[in-house]
Structure 1
Amino acid sequence: MSLIVQKFGGTSVANAERLFNVANIVTQTYKQGNDVVVVVSAQGDTTDDLIAKANEINPNASKREMDMLLTSGEQISASLLAMAIEKLGFPVVSLLGWQAGFYTSSAYGTARIKRVTPDRIKKEIDKRNIVVVTGFQGVNRYDDMTTLGRGGSDTSAVAIAAVMNADLCQIYTDVEGVFTADPRKVKGARKLSVISYDEMLELASLGAQVLNNRSVEMAKKYNIELEVLSSLTKAKGTIVKEATKVEKMMISGIAKDEDVARVSIIGVPDRPGLAFKIFSKLAAKNINVDIILQSIGRNGTKDISFTVSHDNLKETIDLLNPYVDLIGATSVVYDENVAKVSAVGAGMETHPGIAAEMFEALYEANINIKMISTSEIKISVLIDSKDADKAVAAVHDKFFGNALDA
């Protein structure tokens, strides 16, 4: 007998037909003699709809009240799925995040899991119940509901798998696995049978929307084998696991991230400590910074450019504008019309010339590069957002061939 954790995203539970489809997948797994814990997201566009409703009432609602509202989406999914499983004649119980033992930090909207105490889940499994848990949520030390941020249901599922030593954690979505590019945009995209944690983490962090990056990080830490597969077909999915020592693919995938803005601080005095002061100020507000570029000094000054998410742009500008005069810089400027395109692959370490090939592909497509960032297994470029899809297709075609815009 195995313990299997299955997570179903919003599209998988979007309506009654799909809820019964999920119920069939879950009960088939149960009938094979397995213990089953199911984690669900809110149905379809429920979260976006709830945000829209909140904005109608109060566009500046507190993050605490937003979390109280948003956690209701997963509760609806969990109870409806439990009802569907009941109708099929199987024993089932649905649990909210706090009932399942999820204790989090108090950062409303972006809470971190501090610990999971799955006593209630274990008791229900001992009764041979299928357990359906609301993803994306927990409770903080004030007994307030919290949410884990977009994609948090993936993290919830992996956390349960880790704390309960599950044999497998399956992430069901609307695509059949992890592809070399978004198959909805690039016709030549190929499904991968296996990908390493590190490669998947990079792809997830760089805009690939198949898995949440925090869930991959956790899976790697606790060595949880993940399988990414579709709830809508019976096709075999992609396994995410520790890298093997066999020869790696040169490139595993191309990712696009359009949730990015470039911020530039112009005319920063060229003296020690100012970069530290700037970025520590952003860190204190939990503003995540990605690509960073510092220009060569001129006339005793330099320019510092970096990228942030669109959600953090206004706060970043508001934070830095009054600080410019204090440090003696000239101004802060920003550009929202940019996108980040990245090539990821563990094989980069042993294949020189990857960057040159990527830049050649962009040159041939007449795409200008604004910023560049590299690591051992990834190359990212910042380009105009209007060129993003064309860039993905061009780079994918360079490394995999036969890529065309969908």
Structure 2
Amino acid sequence: MSLIVQKFGGTSVADAERVMNVARIVTDTYAKGNDVVVVVSAQGDFTDVLVDKQMEINPKASKREQDMLLAAGEQISIALLAMAIEKLGYHATSLLGWQAGFNTSSAHTAARIKSVDPSRIQEAIDRRNIVVVAGFQGVNKRGDITTLGRGGSDTSAVAIAAAMHADLCQIYTDVEGVFTADPRKVENAKKLDEISYDEMLELATLGAQVLNNRSVEMAKKYNIELEVLSSLTQAPGTIVKEKTKMEKMLISGVAKDTEVARISVKGVPNTPGIAFKMFSRLAKKGINVDIILQSIGQHDKKDISFTVAKSHGQAAVDALEDYVISHGASEILLDEDVAKISIVGAGMESHAGVAAKMFEALYEAQINIRMISTSEIKISVLINADDADAAVRAIHRKFFD
């Protein structure tokens, strides 16, 4: 007998027909002799509906009350799925995050899981129940409901799998696995049979929306084997694990991130400590910096450009503006009309010319590169946002056709 954790996203439970479809998948898994824990997101775009309701009442509502509101979406989903499982003749128990033992930090709307006590889940399993858990939520040390941020249900599922030493964690989505590019945008995108944690983590961080990057980090830490597959078809999915085939693919995928902004600080004095003090200010505000480019500089001046999440763009400018101008910089500019395109692959470590091939693809498509960042298994470029989809297609053709 195996313990399998299955997670279903909002599209998988968007309406009554899909809820019943999920119930059949879950009960089929259970009928094969497995113990099953199911983690569910809010239905469809229901979380966005709740956010809209909040904006109608109070756009500046406290984050604590936002969590109280947002947690309602998963409560509806788990109750409906438990009812569907009962309709098929099986016993089910639905649990909210706090009932399932999720203890989190107190950072409302962006809480981190501190521990999971799965004893209540295990009790239900021992009674031969299928357990349906609300993803995305938990409770802090004060007993207040918290939420984990976007994609938090993936993290919830992996956390349960880790706490209960599950044999497999399946992440059901609206695509059939991990592809070399977004199959909705790139016609000949290829599904991968398997991918390493490191490659998947890079893709998730760089804009691929199949898995939440926090869930991949946790899976790697606790060596939880993941399978990404579709709830709408019976096709085999993609396995995410530590070691993959000995002969690595040159690259595993192309990712696009349009939620980025570029900040340029012009005419910075070429003296020690300026960069340290700039980026320390951003760190104190909780603003992560990605690609950084510093010019050689002339006349004891230099330009420093870097990227941040678009949602943090104006906050980054506000944090730096007074400081850099008072220390002699000429201006600070914010550009939100950019996109980050990345290729990821463990095969880069042992193959020369990967960067040249990527840049050749962009040249042939007449797409200009504005910034470049590299690591052992990743190359990212910053380009104009309007060129993003064309860039992904051009790079994908160059490596996969």
| TMscore range, shorter length | over 0.9
Answer whether contact 2:194 2:244 (CA < 8 A) is retained. no
SS in 2 for 1:171: strand
Answer whether contact 2:314 2:334 (CA < 8 A) is retained. no
Matches within 5 A, 1:308-319: 308-319=308-319
Query: 2:142 matched to 1:129?
Result: no
SS in 2 for 1:390: helix
Match of 1:70 in 2: 70
AA aligned to 2:182 is D
Matches within 5 A, 1:110-125: 110-125=110-125
Partners of 1:245 and 1:231 lie apart in 2 by: 26
Match of 2:384 in 1: 384
SS in 1 for 2:71: helix
Return 286-295 or 191-200, whichever deviates more.
Answer: 286-295
Query: 2:288 matched to 1:297?
Result: no
Match of 2:143 in 1: 143
AA aligned to 2:302 is K
SS in 2 for 1:99: coil
Partners of 1:151 and 1:14 lie apart in 2 by: 16
Cα-to-partner distance string for 1:23-52 (whole Å, 9 max, x where unaligned): 000001111111100001111111111111
Answer whether contact 2:267 2:330 (CA < 8 A) is retained. yes
Match of 1:16 in 2: 16
Return 32-41 or 280-289, whichever deviates more.
Answer: 280-289
Match of 1:254 in 2: 254
SS in 1 for 2:79: helix
Match of 1:344 in 2: 344
Partners of 1:86 and 1:40 lie apart in 2 by: 16
- 1:306, distance to aligned residue in structure 2 (A): 1.1
Match of 2:395 in 1: 395
Structure-2 change in CA distance of 1:325 and 1:224 (3 Å): same
SS in 1 for 2:94: strand
Partners of 1:295 and 1:346 lie apart in 2 by: 30
AA aligned to 2:73 is G
Partners of 2:143 and 2:273 lie apart in 1 by: 41
Partners of 1:298 and 1:107 lie apart in 2 by: 44
Answer whether contact 2:340 2:381 (CA < 8 A) is retained. yes
- 1:168, distance to aligned residue in structure 2 (A): 0.1
- 1:87, distance to aligned residue in structure 2 (A): 1.2
Match of 2:162 in 1: 162
Match of 2:83 in 1: 83
AA aligned to 2:85 is I
Match of 2:41 in 1: 41
SS in 2 for 1:160: helix
Matches within 5 A, 1:233-248: 233-244=233-244, 246-248=246-248
Partners of 1:76 and 1:321 lie apart in 2 by: 45
AA aligned to 1:30 is Y
- 1:106, distance to aligned residue in structure 2 (A): 1.3
Partners of 1:272 and 1:10 lie apart in 2 by: 50
Match of 1:172 in 2: 172
- 1:245, distance to aligned residue in structure 2 (A): 6.1
Partners of 1:269 and 1:141 lie apart in 2 by: 47
Match of 2:355 in 1: 355
Partners of 2:107 and 2:77 lie apart in 1 by: 24
Structure-2 change in CA distance of 1:127 and 1:397 (3 Å): same
Partners of 1:107 and 1:22 lie apart in 2 by: 32
Return 56-65 or 370-379, whichever deviates more.
Answer: 56-65
Match of 1:223 in 2: 223
Match of 1:191 in 2: 191
Query: 2:326 matched to 1:330?
Result: no
AA aligned to 1:179 is F
Q: Normalized against structure 1, the TM-score is what?
A: 0.97
Identity level (%):
74
Answer whether contact 2:177 2:229 (CA < 8 A) is retained. yes
AA aligned to 1:71 is A
- 1:67, distance to aligned residue in structure 2 (A): 1.3
Partners of 2:111 and 2:91 lie apart in 1 by: 32
Runs of 4+ in 1 over 6 A off after TM superposition: none
Q: Which runs of 5+ in 1 are unaligned?
A: 402-406
- 1:10, distance to aligned residue in structure 2 (A): 0.6
Structure-2 change in CA distance of 1:331 and 1:170 (3 Å): same
Match of 1:108 in 2: 108
Partners of 1:303 and 1:63 lie apart in 2 by: 37
Match of 1:404 in 2: none
Q: Which runs of 5+ in 2 are unaligned?
A: none
Partners of 2:95 and 2:155 lie apart in 1 by: 16
Cα-to-partner distance string for 1:261-298 (whole Å, 9 max, x where unaligned): 11112222212222122112211222121111111122
Cα-to-partner distance string for 1:229-267 (whole Å, 9 max, x where unaligned): 000000000000012461100010000011111111222
Return 106-115 or 19-28, whichever deviates more.
Answer: 106-115
SS in 1 for 2:55: helix
Q: What's the C-alpha RMSD, in Å, of the aligned pairs?
A: 1.0
Answer whether contact 2:37 2:132 (CA < 8 A) is retained. yes
Match of 2:268 in 1: 268
Partners of 2:326 and 2:65 lie apart in 1 by: 36
AA aligned to 1:105 is S
- 1:327, distance to aligned residue in structure 2 (A): 3.2
Cα-to-partner distance string for 1:156-205 (whole Å, 9 max, x where unaligned): 00000011100000000000000000000000100000101111000000
Match of 2:61 in 1: 61
Cα-to-partner distance string for 1:304-363 (whole Å, 9 max, x where unaligned): 111111211222122222222343322211111100110110000111000000000000
SS in 1 for 2:211: coil
Match of 1:214 in 2: 214
AA aligned to 2:290 is D
Q: Normalized against structure 2, the TM-score is what?
A: 0.98
